[in-house]
């Protein structure tokens, strides 16, 4: 039976669970235990701490998993990164006390840098020929400089608020991260086909996110202008209406362009504009 490892709680747990549910892999939330069987797809969900996910996928205990790229890079296990999942965005950065002058990476030579990501940190400085002193700490890395335990930190940053409230400033971004789907490098034929199906559904889900379905009535004589406003996935659907000289136009637009398009369409006389959410787009 194919198994997928996802974070049990934490920052990625809910989004991972929701993504699986959107692609038709559902587990009764009341039964969201350590291991749960999906009701409508031949897969079991393994709910773990994020730190354990790359390892269980490398060991083939779970064939696939959803985890932050930062964890994959830190653990360094042999897993295949199948695709980025567009959530859980953050970066791994170096930060120093805000009053310090920062002349560049040489600043860190011989310095104690607190982190939960010692492998990524040492790899980064080794490649640049700079010796540092890593201080490995499991959590609350941001308090170590003021506690006198370290001179600088290397940690996950998202909004940057945590750094600011601890009197630190971000001086270098070492890597960008987001949640990724990972897979064991060699899968059985049966598992490979199931993973392909999951990838296909994730692709459809990702295309449909941020898209809106737009319907409106347009007079035939302004159709050329309307079509110029509406570059669509495929060409827009145009259907004649019972009212003479009028057509109904259906198309898909990016949500980010929606209001600009609506304004332009109204300016050429579009009526009865309807905006609908898109659930899935299958290409
Ligand atoms: O219990 P478990 O081991 O499963 O969870 P965890 O506590 O180790 O991880 P968790 O749930 O905090 O994070 C899981 C993953 O989410 C990380 O590995 C990242 O890939 C991703 N992620 C995205 C983040 C953040 N954003 C984030 N902001 N992980 C941690 N943070 C921390 C950051 O270190 C800082 O201390 O959140 C704090 C707030 O960040 P600011 O910059 O917004 O203030
Ligand atoms: Zn963790």
Beta 133-136 vs 152-157: how paired, if at all?
unpaired
Ligand nearest to the CA of 48: 1
Protein residue with least CA distance to atom 5, ligand 1? 10
**Percent of the chain topping pLDDT 90:** 87
Average pLDDT of the residues in 131-138: 97
Distance (angstroms) between ligand 2 centre and the Cα of 47 equals 13
Pocket test for ligand 1, best of 8, 47, 50, 55 (most atoms within 8 A of CB): 50
The mean per-residue pLDDT over the stretch 172-190 comes to 98
User: Does residue 50 have a pLDDT over 70?
Assistant: yes
Contact of 153 with 141, CB cutoff 8 Å: yes
> What end-to-end distance do the CA atoms of the chain give, in Å?
28
- Contact status, residue 182 vs residue 79, Cβ threshold 8 Å: yes
Q: What kind of fold does domain 210-277 have according to CATH?
A: Alpha-Beta Plaits (3.30.70)
State yes or no: pLDDT of 32 exceeds 70: no
The Cα–Cα gap between 37 and 28 comes to 9
DSSP string, 119-149: HHHHHHHHHTT---EEEE-SS-GGGTTTTTS
In angstroms, the CA 280 to CA 178 distance is 22
Closest atom of ligand 1 to CA, residue 13: 11
Average pLDDT over residues 137-160: 97
- Which ligand has the shortest distance to the CA of 9? 1
Listed residues: CB within 5 A of ion ligand 2 = 50-51
Q: Which residue has the higher pLDDT, 209 or 115?
A: 115
Please write the tens of the pLDDT for every residue from 63-84: 999 999 999 999 999 999 999 9
Overall average pLDDT of the 248-264 stretch: 93
Would you call 212 helix, strand, or coil by DSSP?
A: strand
Ligand 1 atom showing the smallest separation from residue 142 Cα:
36
pLDDT at residue 137, as a whole number: 97
Average pLDDT (213-225) is 95
* Predicted local confidence at residue 152, as pLDDT: 98
Same fold, 90-177 and 210-277: no
Tell me, in angstroms, the distance from the centre of ligand 2 to residue 76's CA.
15
Domain 90-177 belongs to what topology? D-Maltodextrin-Binding Protein; domain 2 (3.40.190)
**Given this model, what pLDDT does residue 31 score?**
56
Q: Is pLDDT of 62 > 70? A: yes
- How many angstroms separate the CA atoms of 11 and 177, rounded? 13
Kindly give the distance from the C-alpha atom of residue 11 to the centroid of ligand 1, in angstroms, as a whole number. Answer: 6
As a whole number, the mean pLDDT across the chain is 94
Helix (H, G, I), strand (E, B) or coil at 100: coil
Location of structure tokens 């609350």: 140
Q: What is the pLDDT of residue 134?
A: 98
CATH architecture, domain 2-87+179-207: 3-Layer(aba) Sandwich (3.40)
Confidence of residue 232 (pLDDT cuts 50, 70, 90): low
- Give the residue, by CA position, lying nearest to ligand 1 atom 20: 68
Q: Among 153, 156, 166, name the best residue to mutate to test ligand 1's pocket (greatest count of ligand atoms within 8 A of Cβ).
A: 156
Distance 51 CA to ligand 2 centre (A): 5
Q: Whose CA is nearest to atom 21 of ligand 1?
A: 88
Residues flanking ligand 1, CB < 6 Å: 7, 10-12, 49-51, 68, 70-71, 88, 90, 142, 155-162, 177
Please report, for the chain, the start and end positions of each structural domain, with discontinuous segments joined by +. Answer: 2-87+179-207, 90-177, 210-277
């Amino acid at each position: 039976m194919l198994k997928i490892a996802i974070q049990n709680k934490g920052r990625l747990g809910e989004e991972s669970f929701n993504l699986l549910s959107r692609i038709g892999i559902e587990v009764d939330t009341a039964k969201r235990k350590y291991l749960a069987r999906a009701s409508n797809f031949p897969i079991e969900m393994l709910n773990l701490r994020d730190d354990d996910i790359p390892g269980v996928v490398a060991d083939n205990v779970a064939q696939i998993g959803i985890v932050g790229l930062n964890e994959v890079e830190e653990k360094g296990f042999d897993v295949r990164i199948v695709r980025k999942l567009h959530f859980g965005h953050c970066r791994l950065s170096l930060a120093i006390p805000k009053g310090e002058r920062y002349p560049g990476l040489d600043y860190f030579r011989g310095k104690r840098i607190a982190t939960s990501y010692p492998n990524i940190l040492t790899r980064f400085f080794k490649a640049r020929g700079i010796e540092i002193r890593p201080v490995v700490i499991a959590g609350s890395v941001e308090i170590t400089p003021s506690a006198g335990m370290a001179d600088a930190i290397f940690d996950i940053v998202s909004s940057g608020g945590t750094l600011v409230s601890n009197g630190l400033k971000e001086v270098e971004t070492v890597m960008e991260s987001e949640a990724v789907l990972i897979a064991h490098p060699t899968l059985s034929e049966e598992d490979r086909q199931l993973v392909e199906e999951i990838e296909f559904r994730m692709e459809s889900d990702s295309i449909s996110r941020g898209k809106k379905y737009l319907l409106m009535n347009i007079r035939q004589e302004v159709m050329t202008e309307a079509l110029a406003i509406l570059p669509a996935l495929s060409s827009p659907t145009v259907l004649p209406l019972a009212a003479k000289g009028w057509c109904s136009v259906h198309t898909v637009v990016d949500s980010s362009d929606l209001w600009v398009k609506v304004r332009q369409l109204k300016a050429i006389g579009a009526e009865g504009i309807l905006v609908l959410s898109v659930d899935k787009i299958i290409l």
